[in-house]
Amino acid sequence: MRKLSIAAAAVILAITSYFTLFWGLDALRMLTSPSYGLDEVWRSQFVFAIGRVFALSPIGLIKLAAFLATLKLAVAIVCGAHILDRFRSLFGGQPDIEILEAGLMLVVLISIASVGPAIWSHNAELVREQTIQLVLAAVAVGLSILERRYERADAAAPASDKDAGLIAPQPRWFSPFR
């Protein structure tokens, strides 16, 4: 059971590293571009396809591109925070999986919003790229659910009777609403 948890943590760490690096660089490229990445035809096709569906004006397209770039940067920051949390948990404690799940929900939403217009515009390459990212997010979510399940099973294991009252619950490292 412990080997599965280590393998799941390694795969989750690899997937979060992917989203941190590639989505972070993509978001920074889009945010530093004068037209928010709309000048690159390959990378901005889903923005134009979404804009076509909602009949956006050129200013609306720029706002949509800036919004998607900001969401990608948020995902990269969340995944980077989870990587730091994983390394912190090596020295003691458990990683906070909720941070990762919030970032992966954004990945799923962005990927679904991007793959739909790619299918409508019959762009197989863009569909493949977005589907791979969607599958990576699904694998990471599945492994985090599996890891949480094993964590609960380990916590529910019976402790010895003499130590039952001596163990204090560990505080969470991030609780903004205490």
Residue for token digits 């076509």? 52
Residue 104 located in a structural domain: yes
User: Whole-angstrom Cα distance, residue 19 to residue 16?
Assistant: 5
Q: For position 98, what pLDDT does the model report? A: 83
Q: For position 43, what pLDDT does the model report? A: 73
Residue 173 located in a structural domain: no
Q: For position 44, what pLDDT does the model report? A: 80
pTM as predicted: 0.78
- CA angle (112, 114, 120) in 5-degree steps: 100
3-state SS, residue 172: coil
174: left (phi over 0), alpha (psi -120 to 50) or beta: beta
Q: Residues 113, 50: contact at Cβ < 8 Å?
A: yes
Residue 168 located in a structural domain: no
- What one-character-per-residue DSSP string does 3-18 give? HHHHHHHHHHHHHHHH
Mean per-residue pLDDT pooled into runs of 10, the chain (178 residues): 74 93 92 86 79 88 92 94 87 80 89 82 83 92 83 60 56 60
Q: In angstroms, how far is CA 8 from the centroid of its own chain?
A: 16
Number of domains, the chain: 1
Residue 162 located in a structural domain: no
Residue 176 located in a structural domain: no
Q: For position 132, what pLDDT does the model report? A: 92
Residue 175 located in a structural domain: no
Residue for token digits 């991030």? 174
Residue 127 located in a structural domain: yes
Residue 161 located in a structural domain: no
* Domain that includes residue 8, residue range: 2-154
